[in-house]
Amino acid sequence: MPPASDVVAIVKAHQITHIRLYDADPHMLKALAGSGIEVTVGVTNEEVLGIGESASAAAAWINKNVAAYMPSTNITAIAVGSEVLTSVPHAAPVLVTAMNNLHKALVAADLNFQVKVSTPQSMDIIPKPFPPSTATFNSSWNSTIYQLLQFLKNTNSYYMLNAYPYYGYTNGNGIFPIDYALFKPLPSVKQIVDPNTLFHYNSMFDAMVDATYYSMDALNFSVIPIVVTETGWPWQGGSNEPDATVENAETFVNKLIQRVSNNSGPPSQPTIPINTYIYELFNEDKRPGPISEKNWGLLFTNGTAVFPLSLGGPSQITGNSTAVFCVAKDDASEDKLRDGINWACGQGQANCSAIQSGQPCYLPNNIKNHASYAYNDYYQKMHTVGGTCDFDGTATTTTIDPSKFAQSFLFIMLLLILSAIFIC
């Protein structure tokens, strides 16, 4: 894995504004300081029992892993365990107690208004998610889930859901077409409709979220928003995993981004956006299990994307027939521009030799022009694999070739290096 500082640089280069950590890794939390990125930290499954049995352990955890890094690191949520009810059911009796203990510790530290507490749960606790209108939680967990929902309502928090259409499709015995799992439009004769509500579902993702809303409603909780804390699609699998392909992963992720970016909810809750975390940033090559388990990463560890994607949302430039250039903004501060140049010429692997003293693009010798050169060199190489033009808010795209400005300047200054102008 890259050092934490490099991971944060990669995250910023891809315009990622929210990340979820599975633990409270101190290197990552330090590296995220000052980035403004919203961070969800995780209590590991191994820690849940101890925190559930001891309020002092919860307070110590908050002091060590949250309070110590705020406000420099923008921690906004704590995910207590991961799919506790299905993965470590022996910890289920103290799960909500652990959440309460952590919340009380946040109150004592005066951080409860900035940091929400919740716990990610699998779709597996809903035995029959379709049709969504009749979905209910597994009744054997009703007592724990009721306490959980009451806690979320009392603390104005949200339900964390791990929703995987990949598994919904591959484990579905052919009940649903793959296009439904991949956000692809279905022909009229194959529309997926809830027979009770007559709601049309254009994606399995929406149906999973709605099944969870209806399950909460069955327990008389109807105002708790859902945040999808994991979803994605593996891009490589074994011979018995034919649907784990780069093409399918690219389709799922990019259409997911389009879906989530329209800020609408599922059919039963159209006004509640489905805020979503994509699983995951890098591959886990040592993860046990089938080949697909190791290959969910969006990026390689050098920061390049496995397939073209636009994590910045619909406004991000994705490339078209008009040439697009990346240049420094006029109002950007010089300190931030220097940071941007250092990243582009270092971690970003831009070729910045031409803007060194005595080289063809050294003039005009000012920070903005040097930043524009470095930014554009990085962008031209990387935008087709997910590289972005942001640089901590100091860059923007333009269809005007920035070399024309350099040409005008050099002409006025009567500098006779015209042969180099057109590449600057």
Contact 283, 305 (CB under 8 A): no
What residues have CB less than 8 Å from 48, skipping those under 6 apart?
Answer: 80, 81, 84, 88, 91, 94, 95, 98
H or E element: which one contains 376? Answer: helix 367-382
225 upstream amide cis, omega within 30 of 0: no
Answer yes or no: 83 catalytic. yes
What residues have CB less than 8 Å from 142, skipping those under 6 apart?
Answer: 219
Q: What DSSP assignment string belongs to 2-67?
A: --HHHHHHHHHHTT--EEE-SS--HHHHHHTTTS--EEEEEE-HHHHHHHHH-HHHHHHHHIIIII
Answer yes or no: 230 catalytic. yes
| Burial class of 320 by CB neighbour count within 10 A (0 to 12, 13 to 18, 19+) | exposed
**Count of Cβ atoms closer than 10 Å to residue 74 Cβ:** 18
Mutual orientation of helices 142-154 and 95-108 as an angle, nearest 10°? 20
State how far the Cα of 251 lies from the Cα of 254, in Å rounded to an integer.
Answer: 6
Length of the chain: 424
Catalytic-labelled residue, pool 38, 46, 53, 230: 230
Catalytic-labelled residue, pool 38, 46, 53, 83: 83
Residue 211: strand, helix, or coil: helix
State how far the Cα of 367 lies from the Cα of 341, in Å rounded to an integer.
Answer: 9
State how far the Cα of 161 lies from the Cα of 211, in Å rounded to an integer.
Answer: 11
E-strand ranges in 85-142 read 116-118, 120-122
Task: Provide the annotated active-site residues.
Answer: 83, 230
